[in-house]
Amino acid sequence: MAILEILKYPDPRLKQESRPVEHFDDALRAFVQDLEETMRAGPGGVGIAAPQVGRFERIVIVDVSSKPKIRHHGRMVLINPEITGWNGFAVGREGCMSVPDYTGNVIRAERIRLEALDEFGNAVAYDCEGYEARAVQHEIDHLDGLLFLDRLVSRRNDLFRRKVYQAKPDKEKN
Ligand SMILES: [Zn+2]
């Protein structure tokens, strides 16, 4: 297992489109383990996409079970995922390990139907809603070279700098 390096905006590789996975072998499963470990090592890591660590294949992991009081499916490994149904719209705040200094308000479908393969090549399907549906849509965007920054209606109104710890400056005036 290994924690992989996360590409950070504005790295141009984050705009690259990822290709479908074709081989469901031990090498793929080892990579999925590393990707999951990298997600869990990140602050608030509820999702990750392979291109964020420079592997341009259609692999994402989502696990929002750490969030209280929401419906979820636990750990989902989603390979070659397709969203096959959408319902409703909602605005919500998103962050991203590749955009560590900002959060943003993004419009997403409230409920989605999702079809994918797991790391063994088995077909899986999920009906997701709310925060989990949002996380899945965010991660699938990475596979198409899109960041939440590309989804903001207005950078001026919908982009927020994260609060970071700063040492208290010495008082210059009294
Ligand atoms: Zn992201």
pLDDT at 149: 97
Please report where in the chains the tokens 């596979």 appear, as a residue. 143
| Separation of CA 167 and ligand 1 centre (Å) | 29
| Separation of CA 169 and ligand 1 centre (Å) | 33
| Separation of CA 90 and ligand 1 centre (Å) | 18
Apex CA 86: angle with CA 146 and CA 13, to 5°?
A: 10
Among 69, 73, 70, residue whose Cα is nearest residue 61: 73
Annotated active-site residue in 37, 115, 139, 172: 139
- For residue 32 the two structure tokens come to 């999925």
| Separation of CA 139 and ligand 1 centre (Å) | 6
Q: Over range 159-171, report the average pLDDT.
A: 71
| Separation of CA 119 and ligand 1 centre (Å) | 21
pLDDT at 169: 56
Indicate the helix (H) or strand (E) that contains 135.
helix 130-143
Identity (one letter) of the amino acid at 126?
Y
Tens-digit pLDDT profile for residues 23-48: 999 999 999 999 999 999 988 789 99
Neighbours of ion ligand 1 (CB under 5 A): 96
Tens-digit pLDDT profile for residues 53-100: 999 999 999 999 999 899 999 999 999 999 999 999 999 999 999 999
Its pTM stands at 0.92
Q: Is 37 a catalytic residue?
A: no
pLDDT of 168 higher than 70: no
